[in-house]
């Protein structure tokens, strides 16, 4: 699951990104409003953490522009301490929630999970493909009654496939969803993670739900298809 942090305090945003990456998220950073807006328009983020005070475009302008363009990505706005007018304007411009600085990391992550769970009105909270169930909010995966433990990267790849079940998803599209923009390695790294997923999801159950579409990518199918 990929997140975007737009904040001009580089040390703060780097620390926040470090924590989120340790929790299994892919995280991109932008330190000014225009760069953040460009990234938000380009990549399919699960949520955006957006500061108000930014060079270039402020957070209100970034949020308003995304909403005008039809984006439904959940946005958590960072506001000034006791800034009730900041909070009101954040909601008026289209933010889904706000949190005042300084804040608890635990609270911020809980708010993000709640936003992702509710989604932008189009993201299903629990993904079901045949007898495979995936819950992005709790990071739990089950096949039938059996819980399957996945790494953060494996979960991100499976979620990408599950959201487009029965459709072909290219390696590049998987990279765009499950890795952040810092990654500059070989696209074939996806193959390594898909093989590991098959060993957990398919082999023990005698299934072949993750299909390779030669020359195109991968497709997740119901196990009984």
Same domain, 137 and 106: no
CATH number at residue 144: 1.10.10.10
Q: What pLDDT, in 10s, does the model give residues 72-128? A: 899 999 987 566 667 778 778 888 888 888 889 999 998 898 888 776 544 456 889
Show the tokens assigned to 113: 């999970």
Show the tokens assigned to 86: 């900041």
Show the tokens assigned to 36: 């953040």
pTM of the model: 0.64
Residue 111 is assigned to a structural domain of this protein: yes
Q: What pLDDT, in 10s, does the model give residues 179-220? A: 876 677 788 888 999 999 999 999 999 999 999 999 889 999
Same domain, 167 and 145: yes
User: How far is residue 30's CA from residue 10's CA, in Å, rounded to a whole number?
Assistant: 9
211 backbone dihedrals φ, ψ, rounded to 5°: -100, 140
Residue 94: per-residue pLDDT: 86
CATH number at residue 36: 3.40.50.2300
Same domain, 94 and 160: no
Same domain, 27 and 95: yes
User: How far is residue 185's CA from residue 188's CA, in Å, rounded to a whole number?
Assistant: 9
| CB distance 78 to 63 below 8 Å | no
Same domain, 98 and 9: yes
Residue 184 is assigned to a structural domain of this protein: yes
Last residue of a domain, one of 90, 119, 148: 119
Buried b (16+ CB within 10 A) or exposed e, 141-178: bebeeeebebebbbbbbbbbbbbebeeebebebbbbbb
From 103, 100, 80, 77, select the one nearest 90 (Cα to Cα): 77
Question: Domain span at residue 180?
Answer: 127-220
């Amino acid at each position: 699951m990929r997140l975007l942090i737009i904040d001009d305090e580089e040390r703060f945003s780097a620390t926040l990104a470090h924590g989120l990456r340790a929790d299994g998220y892919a995280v991109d950073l932008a330190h000014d409003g225009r760069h953040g807006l460009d990234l938000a328009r380009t990549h399919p983020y699960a949520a955006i953490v957006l500061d108000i005070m930014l060079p270039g475009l402020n957070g209100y302008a970034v949020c308003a522009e995304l909403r005008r363009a039809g984006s439904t990505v959940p946005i958590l706005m960072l506001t000034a301490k006791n800034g009730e007018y900041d909070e009101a304007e954040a909601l008026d411009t289209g933010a889904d929630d706000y949190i005042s600085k300084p804040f608890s990391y635990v609270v911020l992550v809980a708010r993000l999970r709640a936003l992702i769970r509710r989604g932008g009105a189009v993201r299903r909270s629990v993904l079901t493909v045949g007898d495979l169930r995936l819950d992005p909010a709790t990071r739990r995966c089950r096949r039938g009654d059996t819980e399957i433990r996945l790494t953060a990267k494996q979960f991100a790849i499976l979620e990408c496939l599950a959201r487009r079940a029965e459709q072909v998803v290219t390696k590049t599209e998987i990279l765009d969803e499950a890795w952040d923009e810092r990654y500059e390695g070989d696209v074939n790294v996806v193959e390594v993670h898909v093989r590991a997923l098959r060993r957990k999801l398919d082999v023990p159950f005698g299934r072949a739900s993750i299909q390779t579409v030669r020359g195109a990518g991968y497709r997740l199918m119901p196990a009984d298809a």
